[in-house]
């Protein structure tokens, strides 16, 4: 599912505010958020094409060849394809290959059961620039609020790590999102704020 337009506009605004020069997107689908992010980079004065280390201003990760073909087509129509490289593969692995890169803005919007993995990889590999921002989508989806201030029914919600998100029930997805939110909230490495907008959008910075 594509990012809502208003959310993409909001992220486009934040990328401008940060004067970001490099972005990582995890989960690209047909390219809607990538278009808004690449547009913001162009507006920030970033030149098209690869930088000195061979990376395009916007690096996208998606495992679907079909979605990637659509995304490249849409980016082309938007006149932004020379800002974007889409790496096709499992982002849980591909993100590890980005060691040594720095991104000013990172958007996490792929499989929800791997959010903790993406988040930890980003922090452990130091992929976020100083003063950079991570945006994480869908953090209030699947009625995560139901889990607040209530005992959690483990039998209904227990989740085995590495199960594809599409094989989880809504209650399990809610539990995954809730556990991830609690993990981020109590993480001393970062400061986070969750906006109860759209399906929940969390912004994180390293402290």
**Residue numbers of the site for ligand SAM (CB under 6 A)?**
1-3, 27-30, 32-33, 61-64, 67, 90-92, 109-111, 114
Q: Are strands 103-108 and 190-195 parallel, antiparallel or unpaired?
A: unpaired
Q: How far is the CB of 75 from ligand SAM (least distance, A)?
A: 11
Yes or no: say if 52 and 100 are a contact pair by the CB < 8 Å rule.
no
| Rounded Cα gap, residues 86 and 91, in angstroms | 11
Q: Which is nearer to ligand SAM, 97 or 131 (CB)?
A: 97
CB of 81 to ligand SAM, least distance (A): 16
Q: Residue 128: helix, strand or coil by DSSP?
A: strand
* Residue pair 20/47 in contact by the 8 Å Cβ criterion: no
The residue among 28 and 59 lying less far from ligand SAM, judged by its C-beta, is: 28
Nearer of residues 24 and 128 to ligand SAM, judged by Cβ: 24
Minimum separation from the CB atom of position 155 to ligand SAM (A):
27
**Shortest reach from residue 46's CB to ligand SAM, in Å:** 20
Q: Kindly report the three-state secondary structure assignment for every residue of 42-106.
A: HHCCCCCCCCCCCCCCEEEEECCHHHHHHHHHHHHHCCCHHHEEEEECCHHHHHHHHCCCCEEEE
Instruction: Tell me the pairing of strands 190-195 and 128-137.
Output: unpaired
Q: Between residues 89 and 196, which has the closer beta carbon with respect to ligand SAM? A: 89
Nearer to ligand SAM among residue 44 and residue 64 (C-beta): 64
Nearest approach, Cβ of residue 71 and ligand SAM (Å)? 8
């Amino acid at each position: 599912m594509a990012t809502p337009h208003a959310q993409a506009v909001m992220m486009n605004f934040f990328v401008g505010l940060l004067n970001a020069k490099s972005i990582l997107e995890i989960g690209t689908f047909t390219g809607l958020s990538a278009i808004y992010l690449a547009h913001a980079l162009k507006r920030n004065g970033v030149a098209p094409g690869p930088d000195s280390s061979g990376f395009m201003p916007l690096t996208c990760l998606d495992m679907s060849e079909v979605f990637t073909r659509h995304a490249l087509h849409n980016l082309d129509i938007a006149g932004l394809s020379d800002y974007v490289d889409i790496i096709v593969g499992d982002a849980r692995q591909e993100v590890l290959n980005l060691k040594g890169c720095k991104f000013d803005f990172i958007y996490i919007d792929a499989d929800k059961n791997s959010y903790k993995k993406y988040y930890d990889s980003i922090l452990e590999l130091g992929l976020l620039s100083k003063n950079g921002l991570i945006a994480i989508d869908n953090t209030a989806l699947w009625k995560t609020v139901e889990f607040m201030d209530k005992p959690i029914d483990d039998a209904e919600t227990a989740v085995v790590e590495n199960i594809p998100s599409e094989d989880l029930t809504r209650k399990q997805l809610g539990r995954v999102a809730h556990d991830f939110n609690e993990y981020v909230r109590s993480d001393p490495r970062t400061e986070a704020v969750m906006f109860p907008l759209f399906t929940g959008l969390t912004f994180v910075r390293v402290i």
